[in-house]
A and B are shown apart, each in its own frame.
Chain A
Amino acid sequence: MGSGTSNQRHFAFQNAEKAFRAAALIQRWYRRYVARLEMRRHCTWRIFQSIEYAGQQDQVKLHDFFSYLVEHFTPSSNHERDFLNRVFTEERFPQDAEMEKFSDYKSIEVPDNYTGPRLSFPLLPDHAAALVEAFRRKQQLHARYVLNLLHETRKHLEQLPNITRVSTCYSEEVTVCGDLHGQLDDLIFIFYKNGLPSPERAYVFNGDFVDRGKDSVEILMVLFAFMLVYPKEFHLNRGNHEDHMVNLRYGFTKEVMHKYKTHGKKILKTLQDVFCWLPLATLVDEKVLILHGGVSDMTDLELLAKLDRHKIVSTLRRKTRKENGKQATKEKATPPSGAGRPTPWFLPQTRSLPASPLRLGASGAPRAGRSSSIPCSCPADAKEPARRARRSVDLELDRCRRQAGLPVSPAQGEPLLCTPEADSEAEEPPEPTQEEWKQVVDILWSDPMTQDGCKANTIRGGGCYFGPNVTEQLLQKYNLQFLIRSHECKPEGYEFCHSRKVLTIFSASNYYEVGSNRGAYVKLGPALTPYIVQYQANEATHTLTMRQRISRVEEAALRSLREKLFAHSSDLLGEFKKHDADKTGFITLSDWAEAVESVLRLGLPWRMLRPQLVRSSTDNTLEYRSWLEDLAKEQLSHENIQSSLLETLYQNRSNLETIFRIIDSDHSGFISLDEFRQTWKLFSSHMNVDITDDCICDLARSIDFNKDGHIDINEFLEAFRLVEQSCPEGEASDCRQATSTTDGGCSKPGTH
């Protein structure tokens, strides 16, 4: 008995201890596994962010390119002259009379076989709800109704103040939503989960409704419809993407032209106007300020409330609608004296930016996901005399034209000059003042940072990074409780900062990629306590395990990263060679990381990413040439096209698209072979890419497969996989096939 039980007990104790230790081991192992997943997730996020950042730098390159054009290029033929003329000619902002014509919808007939939703005005709540349902079923609203709706929307917006005031006395709860970026699924989900707008359920949508996603048009239609139906309860703030210049680059313009081939241009023009009429901010119970970007240490709510917001056509350029109407006075405008390089009208006047792309921060710039492009900065030097600061872009244009040998004298309808000396405040102010413009840019583009202070965002050239003290100062000055803003993608869809005085709310889930982030909206009751609801509008992600979700997003990020690496192949090779003085063909993995960072300058943790990017490495060395070749094999599908050409294409894809769209000023989607060739020639000479004329001609001809002398720019870009196919499922027949064929071709014949 005695020794038996003590043996038993000993045995039992041993077993228990073994089980304990076994469990501890499993837990230890599992926690490490999870930690590694976490690390991958963070690295993935960093990849997306830094690529997005790098995209913003492209804007700088674009600027450089056109400056180069202006300074170095002399047109040698009428052809080239015409071409340059088109590139540099001011696109006039429509006059009022013309605006009428553009928004004329009554003349548009709706065919009998149209099965989409129909609108009649005044809109009723049922109509708005029906519209949501129709879009959910993938129907498209006819152009006539679009324009009609926009017309009514503008009428409504014109009456609104710059800062909308909302009270929780009337509707008990206010729901604030952030960026949607054309992701209709998220909007539908919000309405499904939170309920449709109603007198008891107020909504504020905080800007960036369009661009990037594929259903920007539909989102606008729904938002505008509900705004008309519930004018007291449904509110919109302007975001930095409610801007026709930004839309040119980030997909909304393309979406409109794709969906509305005949009337797209009208719609775009009307929207240009509607965007300017969007309110700038919303104030809830005089306590919670809602605006898209942020604030600066100079933010002046009174000034913001007073200014004529309609004058701010685009935050990318300080231009107004009335410029065109002014007559030139006797005084000829003097060319800008030492004011830096002249800038074509469509580019940010980034005179404050250095010529070369800036290095992305290790120090300084907060790493946050920003869904935007670079705004314009006026001459940043505040000490500059007023007249220089208010110089019209027309002066720059004139100089461009003169240099390019183009006619300079004002012709009919040509934008005319503002006299530098004229004090335009004497008459109706034709343009927003520098101060007004800056105020608006600040609230649409700024981002919070953790350090105190307020520093200009030199990478973007507009807006600022504002610290906790700036927030505190503003809240106190205007007796506010906290700020709600959007503008930045957050993994959880929201984020508090500045001691919970600033709330970022972002409503586009899966923004970078399926599974990349959640979306969120925030509800405020009379107590103004924020109540956050998160979601991820993609069923697929719910059924995936964390590991699978992370893998998916990671794959997407790595793909983008590999593309970028490929795009810099030549530079990388050069850099690798530097580390391989003995010409062995091998470098260490550490050298690899250093080389890659010095070329790409993305500020990424390359040593953490290395296992995903460098497959084989035995003794910690890498045979770099074959690594580069492997990269190329993944990306390249056109063997007969010079690899440097493709590299350049990849590097500059977003710029190319923008350039093409600028050339295609009637938004037809086509540019002539000639224009294509000339653009490409100019571009490649600027980029120091060695391209023969023959090669360009071959390229152009191979793209114009139906030989009609026109290139469909979408097909061109898609052929090189520079543009994502934006065809929804089920419309494959409409879709332009962009398969790559081994004869260096682009689109398949017959799909034109």
Chain B
Amino acid sequence: IIASEYHKKIKDAFEVFDHEANNTVDVREIGTIIRSLGCCPSEGELHDLIAEVEEEEPTGYIRFEKFLPVMTEVLLERRYRPIPEDTLLRAFEVLDPSKRGFLTKEELIKYMTEEGEPFSQEEMEEMLSAAIDPESNSIHYKDYIAMMVVDDS
């Protein structure tokens, strides 16, 4: 029963990006679809997943028939669970060892674009626009997280 519920959810999400109504989506949208279904994979994990659902000879499109079983499995196994708020907070605190309660804009940029799975320029700019307090030119991460979490629900 649960599987068929997931099937419908996956179908709905998939169809949002199925612009030509032919049960395919552009591979570049797969990440969005997977994430909006509640999963939080890293870029690396995402690439692995895409490799699973891609055609033998990649066409740039993902077919629903291939996507459905793989995605159902992901949901059933509860893979790529979202990150709890406190874990996120601790991550910021790691980057702020002196416990100031904030990161400067430069620090944020440095970490986000040089460490981990770096942001593109666009991603960086978008994050800055909402995160940075223009007066102090810094991100007060506790408030930031609180704001984003509210938004998310």
A, B: real partners = yes
Task: Give the distance in Å from the alpha carbon of A607 to the alpha carbon of B37 in the complex.
Answer: 10
A34 touches B123 (CB 8 A): yes
Q: Using a CB-CB cutoff of 8 Å, which residues 1-52 of chain B contact chain A?
A: 5, 8-9, 12-13, 15-17, 19-22, 31-36, 39-43
Encode A17-37 as 1/0 by CB contact (under 8 A) with B.
011111111111111111110
Residues of B within 8 A of A31 (CB): 31, 35, 43, 123
Q: Using a CB-CB cutoff of 8 Å, which residues 131-151 of chain B contact chain A?
A: 148, 151
A38 touches B32 (CB 8 A): yes
Q: Given A24-B115, A31-B43, A39-B32, A608–B12 Cβ distance below 8 Å?
A: yes
B88 touches A25 (CB 8 A): yes
B19 touches A35 (CB 8 A): no
Q: Given A546-B129, A590-B5, A24–B12 Cβ distance below 8 Å?
A: no
Q: B148 → chain A, closest Cβ, in Å?
A: 6
B126 touches A34 (CB 8 A): yes
Task: Determine if A136 is an interface residue (Cβ-Cβ < 8 Å).
Answer: no
Residues of A within 8 A of B76 (CB): none
Task: Give the distance in Å from the alpha carbon of A547 to the alpha carbon of B128 in the complex.
Answer: 12
Q: Given A32-B82, A608-B13, A22–B92 Cβ distance below 8 Å?
A: yes
Task: Give the distance in Å from the alpha carbon of A263 to the alpha carbon of B58 in the complex.
Answer: 64
How would you classify the secondary structure of chain A's contact residues: helix, strand, loop or mixed?
Answer: helix
Task: Give the distance in Å from the alpha carbon of A451 to the alpha carbon of B20 in the complex.
Answer: 8
B36 touches A36 (CB 8 A): yes
Residues of B within 8 A of A363 (CB): 21
Q: Using a CB-CB cutoff of 8 Å, which residues 32-51 of chain A contact chain B?
A: 32-36, 38-39, 42-43, 46
| Residue of A22, A27, A30, A607 touching B12 (CB-CB under 8 A) | A607
Residue among A18, A29, A43 facing the most chain B CB atoms (10 A cut-off): A29
Q: Given A22-B92, A42-B16, A362-B21, A27–B130 Cβ distance below 8 Å?
A: no
Task: Determine if A605 is an interface residue (Cβ-Cβ < 8 Å).
Answer: yes
Q: Given A25-B83, A25-B91, A608–B130 Cβ distance below 8 Å?
A: no
A20 touches B152 (CB 8 A): no
User: B9 — nearest CB in chain A belongs to which residue?
Assistant: A607
Residues of B within 8 A of A593 (CB): 8, 12
Residues of A within 8 A of B95 (CB): 19, 22-23, 26
Contact residues on A (Cβ < 8 Å of other chain), bracket: 35 or more
Q: Given A28-B41, A34-B126, A23–B148 Cβ distance below 8 Å?
A: no
Q: Using a CB-CB cutoff of 8 Å, which residues 93-115 of chain B contact chain A?
A: 94-95, 111-112, 115
Task: Determine if A366 is an interface residue (Cβ-Cβ < 8 Å).
Answer: yes
A19 touches B12 (CB 8 A): no
B32 touches A35 (CB 8 A): yes
A20 touches B115 (CB 8 A): yes
Encode A593-617 as 1/0 by CB contact (under 8 A) with B.
1000000000001111000000000
Task: Determine if A364 is an interface residue (Cβ-Cβ < 8 Å).
Answer: yes
Residues of B within 8 A of A365 (CB): 21
Residues of B within 8 A of A20 (CB): 115-116
Q: Given A25-B88, A33-B148, A605-B15, A547–B130 Cβ distance below 8 Å?
A: yes
Task: Determine if B119 is an interface residue (Cβ-Cβ < 8 Å).
Answer: yes
Task: Determine if B127 is an interface residue (Cβ-Cβ < 8 Å).
Answer: yes
Q: Using a CB-CB cutoff of 8 Å, which residues 33-83 of chain B contact chain A?
A: 33-36, 39-43, 82-83
Residues of B within 8 A of A451 (CB): 20, 22
Q: B123 → chain A, closest Cβ, in Å?
A: 7
| Residue of A21, A32, A590 touching B116 (CB-CB under 8 A) | A21
Residues of A within 8 A of B148 (CB): 33
B129 touches A367 (CB 8 A): no
A36 touches B35 (CB 8 A): yes
Residues of B within 8 A of A405 (CB): none
Residues of B within 8 A of A605 (CB): 12-13, 15-16
A26 touches B130 (CB 8 A): no
A27 touches B116 (CB 8 A): yes
Residues of B within 8 A of A32 (CB): 35, 39-40, 82
Task: Determine if A361 is an interface residue (Cβ-Cβ < 8 Å).
Answer: yes
B152 touches A36 (CB 8 A): yes
A608 touches B36 (CB 8 A): yes
Q: Using a CB-CB cutoff of 8 Å, which residues 301-325 of chain A contact chain B?
A: none
Task: Give the distance in Å from the alpha carbon of A42 to the alpha carbon of B35 in the complex.
Answer: 14
B16 touches A39 (CB 8 A): yes
Task: Give the distance in Å from the alpha carbon of A18 to the alpha carbon of B91 in the complex.
Answer: 9
Residues of A within 8 A of B35 (CB): 31-32, 35-36, 39
User: B41 — nearest CB in chain A belongs to which residue?
Assistant: A28
| Residue of B31, B87, B117 touching A27 (CB-CB under 8 A) | B117
| Residue of A29, A590, A607, A608 touching B88 (CB-CB under 8 A) | A29
Residues of B within 8 A of A742 (CB): none
A606 touches B12 (CB 8 A): yes
Residues of A within 8 A of B152 (CB): 33, 36
A546 touches B8 (CB 8 A): no
Q: B146 → chain A, closest Cβ, in Å?
A: 13
B32 touches A22 (CB 8 A): no
Task: Determine if A741 is an interface residue (Cβ-Cβ < 8 Å).
Answer: no
User: B128 — nearest CB in chain A belongs to which residue?
Assistant: A545
Task: Give the distance in Å from the alpha carbon of A36 to the alpha carbon of B36 in the complex.
Answer: 5
Q: B147 → chain A, closest Cβ, in Å?
A: 9
User: A28 — nearest CB in chain B belongs to which residue?
Assistant: B42
Q: Given A29-B83, A34-B123, A362-B21, A607–B8 Cβ distance below 8 Å?
A: yes
Q: B108 → chain A, closest Cβ, in Å?
A: 9
Residues of B within 8 A of A18 (CB): 94
User: A37 — nearest CB in chain B belongs to which residue?
Assistant: B151
Residues of B within 8 A of A608 (CB): 12-13, 16, 36
Task: Give the distance in Å from the alpha carbon of A31 to the alpha carbon of B8 in the complex.
Answer: 24
Task: Give the distance in Å from the alpha carbon of A606 to the alpha carbon of B90 in the complex.
Answer: 36
| Residue of B21, B91, B126, B127 touching A367 (CB-CB under 8 A) | B21
Residue among A22, A23, A38, A607 facing the most chain B CB atoms (10 A cut-off): A23
Task: Determine if A450 is an interface residue (Cβ-Cβ < 8 Å).
Answer: yes
Task: Give the distance in Å from the alpha carbon of A538 to the alpha carbon of B127 in the complex.
Answer: 22
Task: Give the distance in Å from the alpha carbon of A364 to the alpha carbon of B15 in the complex.
Answer: 14
Q: A42 → chain B, closest Cβ, in Å?
A: 5
User: A608 — nearest CB in chain B belongs to which residue?
Assistant: B12
Task: Give the distance in Å from the alpha carbon of A590 to the alpha carbon of B123 in the complex.
Answer: 35
Task: Give the distance in Å from the alpha carbon of A481 to the alpha carbon of B111 in the complex.
Answer: 48
Residues of A within 8 A of B16 (CB): 39, 42-43, 46, 605, 608
Task: Give the distance in Å from the alpha carbon of A367 to the alpha carbon of B16 in the complex.
Answer: 10
Residues of A within 8 A of B15 (CB): 362, 605
Task: Give the distance in Å from the alpha carbon of A464 to the alpha carbon of B52 in the complex.
Answer: 39
A547 touches B9 (CB 8 A): no
Task: Give the distance in Å from the alpha carbon of A239 to the alpha carbon of B15 in the complex.
Answer: 32
Residues of A within 8 A of B8 (CB): 590, 593, 607
Q: B141 → chain A, closest Cβ, in Å?
A: 9
Task: Give the distance in Å from the alpha carbon of A607 to the alpha carbon of B61 in the complex.
Answer: 24
Q: List 20 A-B contacts (CB under 8 A).
A: A21-B116, A22-B92, A22-B95, A23-B95, A27-B112, A27-B117, A27-B119, A29-B83, A34-B123, A34-B126, A39-B33, A361-B21, A363-B21, A366-B21, A367-B21, A545-B130, A547-B130, A547-B151, A593-B8, A607-B12
B residues touching A (Cβ–Cβ < 8 Å)?
Answer: 5, 8-9, 12-13, 15-17, 19-22, 31-36, 39-43, 82-83, 87-88, 90-92, 94-95, 111-112, 115-119, 123, 126-127, 129-130, 148, 151-152
Query: Which 9 A/B pairs are nearest by Cβ-Cβ distance?
Result: A24-B116, A35-B35, A23-B116, A23-B115, A39-B36, A605-B12, A22-B94, A22-B91, A607-B12
A residues touching B (Cβ–Cβ < 8 Å)?
Answer: 18-36, 38-39, 42-43, 46, 361-367, 450-451, 545-547, 590, 593, 605-608
| Given contact pairs A19-B94, A25-B83, A32-B40, a sample of 13 additional A-B residue pairs in the complex whose CB atoms are under 8 Å apart | A22-B91, A26-B111, A28-B42, A31-B43, A36-B152, A43-B16, A363-B21, A365-B21, A546-B126, A546-B130, A590-B8, A608-B13, A608-B16
